[in-house]
Structure 1
Amino acid sequence: MKGDITQLWVDAIVNPANDKLDHGGGLAKAIVDAGGKVIQEESNKIVRKRGKLLDGQAVSTAPGRLHCKRVIHAVGPRWDIGKDKDIEKQCMGKKLLLADAVSQSLREAEKWACKSIAIPAISSGIFGFPVDVCTDVIVEAVQVYNFQNRTELLDVYLVDVSDGVCSMFRKALERYCGHSNVFTQGKFSHLTEFQQRVAL
């Protein structure tokens, strides 16, 4: 769906965080600005206790003034592919780390008894992940998580402020589930094949 993730009425929203949980720019800053300093304060406590997070990990904090129950901070990988090494192997490694960030976010949401979650295009933007690759990986990771777990999550929203990114999410949904399984109702596109409802 196209929209501001900080304004959604869902149980959890995912923040594309860096390994220090320093929410000083981009969507991370927007989330802290909307939710209040408690989000950054709790993030700082997590890092002081356990150190920097690794790519693919996710933790959560209180939401402050946001409408959700939890803010889940997912550390996606940077698309820093070196030309002097096996490019295909590097790309696969980055994709796996992004998929881990998604599955860890879903697991963290379930730990807090969340029934709905909003996920942005983690690792795109300043982290450099190609949007088509990013959206593909996220959709596949949600599908795999659903098939491999007896999940209590009922609604997964794929969210961005950009028409282009939302279009990529839609194309990824259609690739993995078939055009007939993605339909529009109001401003949402639902994926009917899953136990979960995955919406744009």
Structure 2
Amino acid sequence: MNTAHRGAMLECVQGDITQQPDMDAIVNAANGALLPGGGVAGAIHRAAGPGLVQECRKLAPIHPGEAVSTGGHRLPNRHVIHCLGPVYGVDEPAAALLASCYRQALRLAEQQGLASVAFPAISTGVFGYPLEPAARIAVNTVKATLAECPGIKRVRFVLFSAADLACYRRVLAETGE
């Protein structure tokens, strides 16, 4: 599903975040130490190779709601933007911290002159954020932040499962223009 908003195309696809060669940057649902782990962070670090860990060491630690940018290393993307989402029920205010991840990532992309960014469903894995509220925060925050990021022309939500994809598509359709 694709929809246009403020001159940018918003897309939802099911797939692997490390296999988005047409995107300038992908977003890592990182841990605070910016180290390889499970889920999205593990997949990105495996695909990017050891250079990513070395570059991340200089930037860690980060706190919930923050984002930092690195090179893509062996990934097909020029950049990886690392966001630390909130652990649901622990890091509060969770909704504001999650929204900050999306806002900060888009602002970094804009500052670096990037035109396209692919996001996973930040905080919905081991961090336990319920999918539908997380999807609403993601979509609404991206739409609101695009007003201050005119250089960004494509935002893609890359979802792991068919159920996640269906949820994001529904939310995107409900928040249409």
Normalised by the size of structure 2, how large is the TM-score?
0.88
The correspondence of residues 156-171 of structure 1 with structure 2, limited to 5 A, is: 156-171=155-170
- State the secondary structure of the residue aligned to 2:18: helix
**Counterpart residue number, 2:78:** 69
Question: What is the one-letter code of the residue matched to 2:42?
Answer: K
**Counterpart residue number, 2:140:** 140
* Structure 1 residue ranges, 4+ long, deviating more than 4 angstroms after superposition: none
2-structure distance, mates of 1:105, 1:15:
10
Normalised by the size of structure 1, how large is the TM-score?
0.78
1-structure distance, mates of 2:58, 2:101:
20
2-structure distance, mates of 1:175, 1:5:
24
**Counterpart residue number, 2:58:** 45
1:81-138 deviation digits (Å, cap 9, x = unpaired): 59xxxxxxx5xx2111100000000011112211000011000010000001111100
2-structure distance, mates of 1:153, 1:104:
13
2-structure distance, mates of 1:110, 1:70:
12
2-structure distance, mates of 1:140, 1:74:
17
1-structure distance, mates of 2:14, 2:149:
29
1:155-192 deviation digits (Å, cap 9, x = unpaired): 00011120011111111111211xxxxxxxxxxxxxxx
**Greater RCO, CA 8 A, separation 6+:** 2
The correspondence of residues 98-177 of structure 1 with structure 2, limited to 5 A, is: 98-147=98-147, 149-177=148-176
2:60 pairs with 1:19: no
Greater percentage in helix: 1
CA RMSD in angstroms, aligned pairs only: 1.4
1:5 to 2, 14, 17: 17
1-structure distance, mates of 2:53, 2:171:
33
- State the secondary structure of the residue aligned to 2:165: helix
Over alpha carbons, which structure has the higher Rg? 1
Contact 1:38–1:62 (8 Å) recurs in 2? no
2-structure distance, mates of 1:150, 1:114:
10
Question: How many correspondences in the alignment?
Answer: 164
